[in-house]
A = this chain, B = another copy of it.
Amino acid sequence: MKKLSDFTYGIVGLGLMGGSLAKAIRASVLAVPSAMGSILGYDVNQASLEMAKQQHVVDEVFATDTVDAMLSRCDFVYICLYPHATVDFLKAHKAAFKTGAIVSDISGVKALLFTNMEAIIRPDVDFIPGHPMAGNEREGYACSSGDIFKRHNYIVMPLPQTKPENLELFKQLVTLLGFTRIVETDARVHDHKIAFTSQLCHVIASALVDSAEDTEVTAFGGGSFEDLTRIAMINAPLWTELFLANREELLSHIDCFERSLARLKEDIAGQDAADLEVYLEAVRKKRVAMSRIDSRA
């Protein structure tokens, strides 16, 4: 049986997420490089590579012209790129992966990957798509931290051909990284659910900030506006890509939300106190039920 501490890990993209994953692997799986195991890092940004190397977060660094050599040595490759770049990278470097390697990604929309599956996987490489449900409004390696995964959810979408022992290793790994709930599903369910819990929330937060009449309005706030809009400190290129790549699911959730909002607005405009109270009481009960099953509440 393969052991996580004997693996050579390859992190493709040392941004906020890749950097954080590398740091968490270093802290919890592979404290020092061993005869068997090590952490290798690739990024187009030379400064990120140097910082990661200097901090002993990765043991060796690779640039675009050497990344195939890195991939050929890795037992586990984490692709930590934007959604389209993930597909492009997997296609371009398909031949370089080591036979038997486990490969995973962190892309927030999976339809892109699943519609390109033929072009990106090799039968002798175990690609296990996944989505770590953690992150924050910061960007880049300098902001990465191995602690951002604690008590968070991980969504994993094994393929029909995924080897059970590799799926088991994958789950062991993300548990060591701090994730406490692993949800197994498929790409369609993932994209549908994520369009609600993540993309719709970012859309709403962004529209709320857009609708603010000035930037001084928080002097009148008690924290609600701040809580609702922290995620509006958004990485514009990344979220543009996520919104568009999952637009059908997202648009259907926006429609749903607009209908819920319209009903509330109608009650307020019509001064229907009775219906308003019923609506709000139902919302309170629903949200309380959600917080009971939220392990991080």
What distance in Å separates the Cβ of A42 from its nearest Cβ neighbour in chain B? 25
Q: A146: shortest Cβ distance to chain B, in Å?
A: 17
Give min CB distance, A151 to chain B, whole Å. 10
A194 partner residues in chain B, CB cutoff 8 A? 220
Q: Given A133-B220, A233-B291, A268-B244, are A213 and B239 neighbors across the interface (CB < 8 Å)? A: no
Whether A153 contacts B221 by the Cβ 8 Å rule is yes
Task: Name A152's contact: one of B208, B212, B222, B225 (CB within 8 Å).
Answer: B222
- On whether the beta carbons of B276 and A240 are closer than 8 Å, the reply is yes
Complex formed: what's the CA distance from A133 to B224 in Å? 10
Which A188-225 residues have a C-beta within 8 angstroms of B?
190, 193-194, 196-198, 200-213, 215-225
- Closest chain-B Cβ to A110's Cβ sits at a distance in Å of 12
Which of under 10, 10 to 19, 20 to 34, or 35 or more describes the interface residues of A? 35 or more
Q: Name the segment of A28-36, A64-72, A250-258 touching the other chain.
A: A250-258
Interface residue? A183 (CB, 8 A): yes
This protein's copies in its complex: 2
Distance in Å: Cβ of A68 to nearest Cβ of chain B: 31
In contact, A280 and B152 (Cβ under 8 angstroms): no
CB contact between A133 and one of B216, B222, B250 (< 8 Å): that residue: B222
A122: interface (CB < 8 Å): no
A3 within 8 A of B: no
CB distance from A79 to the nearest CB of B (A): 19
| Given A204-B208, A236-B284, A281-B236, also A268-B251 (CB < 8 A) | yes
| A147 at interface by CB-CB < 8 Å | no
A222: contacting residue among B198, B206, B222, B234, CB under 8 A: B198
Given contacts A212-B286, A215-B286, 16 further A-B contacts (CB under 8 A): A153-B219, A183-B220, A196-B213, A197-B217, A201-B224, A204-B204, A207-B261, A209-B283, A210-B263, A213-B256, A218-B294, A221-B294, A223-B296, A224-B231, A243-B276, A244-B268
18 A-B pairs with CB atoms under 8 Å apart are A133-B220, A152-B223, A153-B220, A193-B217, A197-B220, A197-B222, A198-B221, A201-B224, A210-B263, A210-B286, A212-B286, A226-B297, A239-B280, A240-B273, A241-B273, A247-B271, A250-B268, A258-B261
